[in-house]
Structure 1
């Protein structure tokens, strides 16, 4: 999709493997709705001094050893990682002592997508909860942009596509059937898994589109809240 009136493009890919080679210049948004993107949003809202993404468990553990008062958040295949402090579920984050602490995060898909892009300066994190705010930042920056639905091990993931569709629709000011998007989100296999493990309330929170104004942006390798 393009915004021809401004001569600036805003395109979408539905899995990180579809990012063109070589990786193009411009703005990037990584969308891993369940759960990396939403976790980073919530960590910053809970007062993390910054959030540092990692593609490997070993690098994250080294960060914790070398950084005072650091906290590690993450999962591997949906399960806990030895040596990490918290699951990346937003409701778990809300109950933790986050204020003022540096946080490292490693997830199976979202941080892998960030590594694939190359941790580009200014990389944004998008989800259903901050779609409108992300779109506003992209318009403000006024450069070609690519919204990347992370997917899962090469497969398209419904909730990530929903998040990417919502961001691009907000960017272009297009009307969109939000109830249909919410239905797709709620019926996704990952949402069903969350309900099965007793975290159905997380799905409800994800279906509250545009409930956050927080837009994580990468500065010097660290995610902080975007300020214009």
Structure 2
């Protein structure tokens, strides 16, 4: 079994190989999906197109749309994907559609029929433990931003890789936490007054939820 890493979704081979993929979009899609499932969402369906997401909401009873494009709200959507704002709403037993600039686009590129997990800094150890139970090649995919690598996604991939290869979290994560805090995206969040979001991302391995794509929907593994 081989573990591959890429620093941006554009480097994923096309067509996608037969493997398990872990999509890592730390700020913010991956973390949002983890938190939505923790909040009791019946499932989280990723979208790369806003019109498709709105059509899903129109056809699905009690659905909620969560999303952003370029960091801005999306017309017809109910909630930002920031975890602190997700925590203020009720998602228990509700189907959720999610659209983000990079993370859900990465899932779409890999393909909804592939074996896809969601990884972030908050669930890295749980993802690594799940991967060790499988006998397949693994691709750890940092989503990046519009074709460019991002420090926070690369840090998330590295954290999962270390947890997977070491079989433990017995290493000093300070450098990876600094990489997240000093990223441009984290600085943007801090300037908006969401310092708490960044610190939550640096509280590594706080969740046991491993989202897995089943029939085009993420459910808790």
Q: TM range, normalised to the smaller chain?
A: over 0.9
Match status 1:219 vs 2:219: no
- Within the alignment, does 1:64 sit opposite 2:64 as a pair? no
Secondary structure, in 3 states, of the residue corresponding to 2:74? coil
TM-score computed with the length of structure 2 as normaliser: 0.97
Contact 1:11–1:168, Cα closer than 8 Å, also in 2:
no
TM-superposed CA distance for 1:141, in Å, is 1.4
Q: What residue ranges of structure 1 are gaps of 5+ in the alignment? A: 1-7
CA contact (8 A) 1:121 1:219 kept: no
Matched with 2:198 is 203
| 1:76 aligns to 2:30 (yes or no) | no
The residue that corresponds to 2:82 in the other structure is 89
SS at match of 1:134: helix
Shift of 1:177: 3.6
CA contact (8 A) 2:19 2:115 kept: no
Structure 1 length-normalised TM:
0.94
Find 2:45's aligned residue among 46, 52, 56: 52
Which ranges of structure 2 fall in alignment gaps of 5 or more residues? none
Q: Match for residue 156 of structure 2?
A: 163
1:117 — aligned with what? Answer: 110
Structure-1 separation of matches of 2:114 and 2:10:
20
Q: Flag as ranges the 4+ runs of structure 1 deviating above 4 A.
A: none
Q: Work out the CA distance in 1 between the residues paired with 2:45 and 2:15.
A: 25
Structure 1 distance, partners of 2:212, 2:158, is 20
Cα deviation, residue 176, structure 1: 4.3
1:199 positional shift: 0.6
Aligned partner of 1:129 in structure 2 is 122
Count, aligned residues: 219
Matching residue within 166, 185, 190 for 1:190: 185
Q: Residue 123 of structure 1: SS of its match in structure 2?
A: strand
The DSSP-based 3-state class of the residue aligned with 1:141 is: coil
2:35 is equivalent to residue 35 of structure 1: no
Separation in 2, partners of 1:121, 1:96: 31
